């Protein structure tokens, strides 16, 4: 069972956010992505992250962050082999996730890890860097995928918090106890 | 001289009667308490952007954009649905809101005398609009009065300096800083003739009445008001105790450019214009101006038009943004050299000009309203809408601008409508605005873009608005309450205010 304490999540987030913001983050268009592959990507992302697909990519979703993560993952050489697994297990995303994370191909495994980190942190870690047995620095090189990704990381929600410098809560909220976890992750 | 003055007063009085008569017609109160701040409205517009396909009840077809829409009235509430012309729920809802925005634009910009839009007496069928008539809307400067005085609905406040120039049909624009400086004090906007663009904010009667009846027009009044600020919402006509619907609070923010009646004669037929008396209150600064007191007369052309409307299903309000099509090119047009000058805020010949930069200090306008240097705003519209939204809005604009062809109003276009896609969210008090970003090139020139917090988003910005209480409390998505002054000019120490009852979001939403 993953331990989502506020301190742990905030600590991880603080480390990852001290970096460079990535590409301009213009609104991505659905037309640019293959709709079927995108849907499969969301399904396997749900299995990888433990967050329901309807939460990762709601029906009414003005931000559409899934496109940014899909495009980022697509740029990795491991993407096509990963998607072959996903397509072959389209009816069972959990099985696909298991094969990705526990399979023999490190390119696929560490791309799976990068995808998990993208959804939680809004940040891209190169799979090849994650694959190194001993990272050369304490905080591996990373990029914030887009300005929108900075605010959309699930780490903030599971920490019952908000990104540094960006809050959608009401004026004065800081003097109150955080809302229940359920309000954040099931909202 | 005396006779002329009397004639002017008589004419102004007649105009007021006409304006009030329209108000009574448009928002005919039902059998309710006279103090009802949000009375029933007789003619809420309930037309939606699509209708059932007569040949296939499982499908919907676009509502025709035809003459009928020109007299269909103002929507009291959006009529939107997730099903429609495309398979995407978000896209169908967005189109519904954008259609609502155009209906609102037409209703508010129809002549104050009750005529149909585009059938006024002035060039291009122009006329004093409904939102410019005192019976319908009131400028912010006439609500948040000096020394926190109580405002009165319908009375025209004419500064002494302006009285010699006053006459029927003239609007009065008081130059607080917000009338020339953009949000977050990012600077003035200077047109290609070197004139300042000017801004004004107005509100309808339900919004005014909420402020007036709760004493929110003064700083101390806000301190005395120990409840959450919740402006009345618009509601659609329905069978349950609300057969007519209610309009709810509406704010209008407009931007103007100065037009020279002689030099700009060819342009005047392309803009909605107003004869304005610009009042410089003089020091202290703020809320006054460095120069003045003084009053100057100008012809103004409408360049930007914002409407914020609180509705039952959108407690974060619905935000519509229009602008004149000749304000500035967009970034793609500049890149493609697909330019259509003249623009009010872009010079195609100035290839070395950096775009969307703030002008150099000092910013305070002199009485001439001419900028002190040769610096001119070189404005380019930044891409911030998703492609699908941009295409949908462009299609609606083609339809409505064709409907308004031959009038000044064909020169205005919707940028988009921002609305809460998850109005009842407990953790996003802004209700997940859709689209995420929206900026008008004349009203948010320097905050266009797609960077959260830094770039313009109507709801994300207005969600931070507060009262002047200590500690401050949320003011229901309006910065208007920040303009309230101290009673009798004496501020004194803040009264110890009771803690607000509710700081959490999770608005009650009526579908």
DSSP for B221-267, written as a single string: HHHH--S---PPPBB--BTTTBSS-B---EEEEEEEEEE-TTTTHHH
Structure token digits, residue B169: 């049909």
For residue B59, how many other CB atoms are within 10 A of its CB? Answer: 13
Tell me the C-alpha distance between B265 and B284, whole Å: 37
Residue B451 DSSP SS3: coil
Q: What is the pLDDT of residues B311-320, one digit of tens each?
A: 999 999 999 9
The total number of structural domains that make up chain B: 1
- Phi, psi dihedrals of residue B274, rounded to the nearest 5°: -145, 140
For B402, the enclosing helix (H) or strand (E) is helix B387-403
Low-confidence ranges of chain A (pLDDT < 70): 1-33, 135-136, 187
Q: Which residue has the higher pLDDT, A27 or B134?
A: B134
Nearest C-alpha in A relative to B450: A26
For residue B134, how many other CB atoms are within 10 A of its CB? Answer: 22
Q: What average pLDDT does this structure show over B332-358?
A: 96
Helix pair angle (A106-121, A65-74), 10° resolution = 160
A15 CA: distance to closest CA in chain B (Å)? 20
Q: Which residues of B touch A59 (CB under 8 A)?
A: 89-90
Nearest C-alpha in A relative to B463: A170
With respect to residue B207, please indicate whether it lies within any of the assigned structural domains: yes
- Per-residue confidence (pLDDT) for residue A33, from 0 to 100: 61
For residue B125, how many other CB atoms are within 10 A of its CB? Answer: 21
Q: What is the pLDDT of residues B148-168, one digit of tens each?
A: 999 999 889 999 999 999 999
A143 CA: distance to closest CA in chain B (Å)? 16
- Per-residue confidence (pLDDT) for residue B31, from 0 to 100: 40
- Per-residue confidence (pLDDT) for residue B502, from 0 to 100: 58
With respect to residue B180, please indicate whether it lies within any of the assigned structural domains: yes
- Per-residue confidence (pLDDT) for residue A16, from 0 to 100: 34
Q: What is the pLDDT of residues B17-42, one digit of tens each?
A: 333 333 333 333 334 444 799 999 98
Cα-Cα-Cα-Cα dihedral of B252, B256, B261, B264, to 10°?
-130
For residue B486, how many other CB atoms are within 10 A of its CB? Answer: 15
With respect to residue B148, please indicate whether it lies within any of the assigned structural domains: yes
Long-range contacts from B26-33, C-beta under 8 angstroms, 24+ separation? B26/B73, B26/B74, B26/B130, B26/B136, B27/B205, B27/B247, B30/B244
Q: B432 at the A interface (CB within 8 A)? A: yes
Q: Which residues of B touch A28 (CB under 8 A)?
A: 386
Q: Which residues of B touch A184 (CB under 8 A)?
A: 427
Q: In Å, what is the CA distance from A150 to each residue of A66, B381, B441, B453, B497?
A: 13, 24, 26, 11, 37
Q: Is A60–B93 a contact, with Cβ atoms under 8 angstroms apart?
A: yes
Percent of chain B with pLDDT over 90: 80
- Per-residue confidence (pLDDT) for residue B511, from 0 to 100: 64
pTM, whole model, 2 decimals? Answer: 0.89
With respect to residue B88, please indicate whether it lies within any of the assigned structural domains: yes
Please count the residue pairs, one from chain A and one from chain B, whose beta carbons lie less than 8 angstroms apart.
96
Q: Cβ(B322)–Cβ(B304) under 8 Å?
A: yes
Q: What is the pLDDT of residues B431-473, one digit of tens each?
A: 999 999 999 999 999 999 999 888 999 999 999 999 998 888 8
- Per-residue confidence (pLDDT) for residue B302, from 0 to 100: 98
With respect to residue B258, please indicate whether it lies within any of the assigned structural domains: yes
Residues sharing a CB contact under 8 Å with residue B11, sequence separation 6 or more, in sequence order: B167, B168
- Per-residue confidence (pLDDT) for residue B498, from 0 to 100: 63
Percent of chain B with pLDDT over 70: 91
Q: In Å, what is the CA distance from B129 to each residue of B137, B230, B302?
A: 10, 28, 11
Q: Is the pLDDT of residue B510 over 50?
A: yes
Which range of residues forms the domain containing residue B301?
2-25+40-489
Residue B415 DSSP SS3: strand
For residue B506, how many other CB atoms are within 10 A of its CB? Answer: 17
Residue-range domain boundaries for chain A: 6-185
- Per-residue confidence (pLDDT) for residue B497, from 0 to 100: 62
Q: Cβ(A122)–Cβ(A149) under 8 Å?
A: yes
Q: Cβ(B166)–Cβ(B8) under 8 Å?
A: yes
Q: In Å, what is the CA distance from A3 to each residue of A6, A9, A12, A157, A159?
A: 9, 9, 13, 14, 11
With respect to residue B308, please indicate whether it lies within any of the assigned structural domains: yes
B307 CA: distance to closest CA in chain A (Å)? 21
A63 CA: distance to closest CA in chain B (Å)? 7
With respect to residue B404, please indicate whether it lies within any of the assigned structural domains: yes
With respect to residue B495, please indicate whether it lies within any of the assigned structural domains: no
- Per-residue confidence (pLDDT) for residue B449, from 0 to 100: 93
- Per-residue confidence (pLDDT) for residue B507, from 0 to 100: 74
3-state secondary structure B260-277: CCCCCHHHHCCCCEEEEE
- Per-residue confidence (pLDDT) for residue B500, from 0 to 100: 54
């Amino acid at each position: 069972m993953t331990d989502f304490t506020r301190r742990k999540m905030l600590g991880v987030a603080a480390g990852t956010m001290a970096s460079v913001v990535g590409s301009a983050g213009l609104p991505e268009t659905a037309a640019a992505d293959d709709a079927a592959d995108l849907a499969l990507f969301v399904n396997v992302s749900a299995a990888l992250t433990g967050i329901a697909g309807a939460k990762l990519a709601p029906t009414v979703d003005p931000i559409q962050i899934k496109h940014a993560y899909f495009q980022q993952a697509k740029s990795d050489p491991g993407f096509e082999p990963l998607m072959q697994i996903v397509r072959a297990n389209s009816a069972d995303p959990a099985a696909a996730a298991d094969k990705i994370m526990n399979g023999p191909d490190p390119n696929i495994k560490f791309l799976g890890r990068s995808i998990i980190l993208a959804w939680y942190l809004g940040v891209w870690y190169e799979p090849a860097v994650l694959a190194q047995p001993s990272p050369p620095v304490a905080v591996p090189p990373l990029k914030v995928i887009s300005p929108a990704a900075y605010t959309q990381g699930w780490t903030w929600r599971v920490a019952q918090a908000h990104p540094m410098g960006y809050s959608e809560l009401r004026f004065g909220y800081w003097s109150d106890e955080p809302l229940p976890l359920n309000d954040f992750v099931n909202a | 001289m005396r006779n002329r003055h009397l004639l002017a007063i008589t004419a102004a009085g007649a105009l007021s009667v006409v304006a009030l008569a329209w108000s009574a017609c448009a928002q005919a109160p039902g059998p309710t308490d006279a103090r009802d701040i949000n009375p029933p409205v007789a003619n809420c517009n309930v037309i939606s952007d699509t209708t059932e396909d007569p040949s296939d009840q499982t499908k919907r077809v676009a509502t025709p954009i035809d003459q009928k829409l020109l007299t269909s009235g103002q929507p009291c509430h959006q009529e939107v649905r997730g099903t429609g012309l495309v398979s995407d729920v978000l896209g169908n809802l967005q189109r519904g809101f954008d259609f609502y925005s155009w209906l609102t634009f037409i209703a508010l910009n129809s002549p104050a005398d009750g005529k149909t839009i585009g059938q006024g007496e002035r060039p291009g069928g122009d006329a004093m609009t409904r939102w410019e008539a005192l019976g319908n809307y009131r400028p912010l400067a006439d609500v948040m009065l000096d020394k926190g005085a109580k405002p009165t609905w319908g009375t025209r406040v004419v500064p002494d300096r302006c009285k010699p120039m006053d006459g029927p049909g003239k609007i009065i624009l008081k130059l607080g800083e917000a009338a020339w400086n953009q949000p977050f004090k990012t600077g003035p906007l200077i047109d290609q003739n070197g004139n300042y663009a000017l801004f004004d904010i107005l509100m309808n009667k339900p919004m005014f009445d909420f402020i007036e009846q709760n004493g929110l027009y003064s700083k101390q009044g806000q301190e005395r008001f120990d409840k959450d600020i919740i402006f009345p919402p618009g509601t659609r006509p329905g069978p349950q105790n609300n057969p007519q619907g209610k309009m709810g609070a509406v704010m209008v923010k407009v931007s103007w450019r100065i037009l020279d009646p002689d030099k700009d004669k060819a342009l005047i037929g392309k803009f909605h214009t107003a004869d304005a008396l610009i009042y410089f209150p003089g020091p202290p600064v703020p809320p006054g101006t460095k120069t003045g007191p003084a009053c100057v007369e100008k012809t103004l052309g409408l360049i930007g038009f914002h409407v914020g409307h609180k509705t039952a299903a959108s407690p974060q309000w619905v935000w519509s943004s229009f602008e004149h099509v000749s304000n500035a090119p967009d970034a793609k047009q500049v890149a493609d050299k697909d330019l259509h000058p003249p623009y009010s805020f872009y010079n195609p010949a100035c290839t070395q000009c950096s775009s969307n930069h703030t002008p150099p200090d000092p910013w305070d306008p002199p009485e001439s309203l001419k900028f002190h240097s040769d610096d001119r705003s070189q404005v380019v519209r930044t891409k911030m809408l998703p492609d699908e939204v941009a295409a949908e809005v462009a299609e609606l604009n083609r339809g409505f601008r064709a409907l308004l062809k031959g009038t000044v109003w064909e020169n205005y276009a919707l940028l988009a409508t921002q609305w809460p896609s998850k109005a009842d969210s407990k953790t996003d008090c802004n209700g997940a605005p859709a689209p995420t970003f929206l900026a008008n090139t004349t009203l948010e020139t320097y905050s266009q873009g797609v960077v959260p917090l830094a770039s313009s988003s109507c709801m994300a910005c207005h969600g931070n608005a507060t009262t002047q209480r200590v500690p401050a409390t949320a003011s229901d998505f309006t910065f208007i309450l920040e303009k309230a002054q101290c009673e009798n000019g004496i501020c004194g120490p803040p009264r110890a205010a009771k803690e607000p009852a509710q700081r959490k979001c999770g608005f009650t939403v009526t579908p």
